[in-house]
Structure 1
Amino acid sequence: MSKVTEVVEQLATPIVNDLGLELVDVEYVKEGRDWFLRLYIDKESGVDIEECGTVSERLSEKLDELDPIPHNYFLEVSSPGAERPLKKEKDFISAIGKNVFVKTYEPIDGEKSFEGILLEYDGQTVKLEIKVKTRTKTVEIPFGKVASARLAVTFG
């Protein structure tokens, strides 16, 4: 399945760049009996439905030409939303100072889920300031142990 996402990313990147947008993520997943190809696009001021539609139409034409997916699927193009995934180095760098949620492959200090302010990212380590009861604590997570990361919406 990663081959499909790689091919789609190669096809979508020039389309997205041409429109002044950013390709945040590509997912190819099976849900129930159906397959979904999802693209998440963004720009500084946010994306609108017309931009999602334009990307969808242009990418659909390229996918029809190349036909890299052997079975039926649903193509969805949308904004990554408020809880944008952090996947690339630039995602982590732009999230410094923001509240993030990180899951790890294995426990660090007995925990696998962390939410806090992203203090630093140096390509090797994700450093978070988390709240533990009434105080704050700094946690360093080796990047190789990060299973997933995203911005975390805070209320209040």
Structure 2
Amino acid sequence: MAGPRNEQGRGGGAAAADAVRAVVGPVVHTAGLWLEDVQVSRAGARSVVRVTVDLPEDEVGALGSDALDEVSRAVSAALDADDVVPGAYTLEVSTPGTSRPLTQLRHFKRARTRLVSLRLADGRTLEARLLDVLEAGTEGAEDGAVLVLDGGARVPVADVRKGRVEVELKRLDDLDDTQDTDETGDEGDDVGADAADDAEDADDAGPARTQEG
């Protein structure tokens, strides 16, 4: 099974991202997290693998740096074991952060308790705190999912053309957490025990890790 995925990885772009997703998806799921996105690109002689993870949609708040560190280790180990990315590569594992556009229902669910800006189909722009998201078919949302905002306003998700989370000064600590990134350089099966020890030492310095293969 590793052979076909390796051939996809050599192609780069979407095919390589799909190959990586197939390997790291179960790892992220086992960690109790959501695999938001996978991107694979080239940076000189190295590949750059960017994996974005998030908390499940029913949870509120940011993914902590300890949990991000743990899933980063697991993702790195899975990629090394499968050899899905040929040659040298840098792995970056991060969370979406507040800059992620709200384009899916799960994005709105994850934005509960946050201040959001919504541009509606009728041209209006609303800025309010998102209190809840009513699922389609439930009471108060019989015709489709509905956003419940502070002040009593209710907005059908279908009427939202663009949405984003607004950064609040009192939430700067949360913002720092959501922008944590673990970065690990690797060379697939060529990485030995010494390189692994170096990665362990880098982890002790903080949530961001860099290892050059």
**Cα separation, 1, equivalents of 2:102 and 2:45:** 28
Structure 2 contact 52–94 (Cα < 8 Å) conserved: yes
Structure 1 contact 84–150 (Cα < 8 Å) conserved: no
- Once the two structures are superposed, the pairs formed by residues 111-150 of structure 1 within 5 Å of their partners are 116=125, 120-122=156-158, 127-128=160-161
Q: Percent identity?
A: 25
Segments of structure 2 that go 5 or more residues without pairing to the other structure are: 1-12, 127-146, 148-154, 170-213
| Structure 2 counterpart of 1:54 | 70
Give TM-score, length-normalised by structure 2: 0.44
- Runs of 4+ more than 6 Å apart: none
Give TM-score, length-normalised by structure 1: 0.57
Cα distance 1:84–1:150, how it changes in 2: closer, same or farther (>3 A)?
farther
Q: CA deviation at 1:2?
A: 0.8
Segments of structure 1 that go 5 or more residues without pairing to the other structure are: 102-113, 129-148
Which has more radius of gyration? Answer: 2
How large is the Cα RMSD of the aligned pairs?
3.5
| Structure 1 counterpart of 2:39 | 27
Tell me which amino acid in the other structure corresponds to 2:87.
H
1:79 aligns with 2:92: no
Q: CA deviation at 1:53?
A: 1.8
The count of corresponding residues between Structure 1 and Structure 2 is: 120
Structure that is richer in strand per residue: 1
Please list the CA deviations of residues 55-110 of structure 1 after superposition, one character each: whole Å capped at 9, or x if unmatched.
121111221122121232110111211112456x4345646994268xxxxxxxxx
**Cα separation, 2, equivalents of 1:36 and 1:67:** 14
| Structure 1 counterpart of 2:189 | none
Structure that is richer in helix per residue: 2
Structure 1 contact 24–40 (Cα < 8 Å) conserved: yes
| Structure 2 counterpart of 1:99 | 117
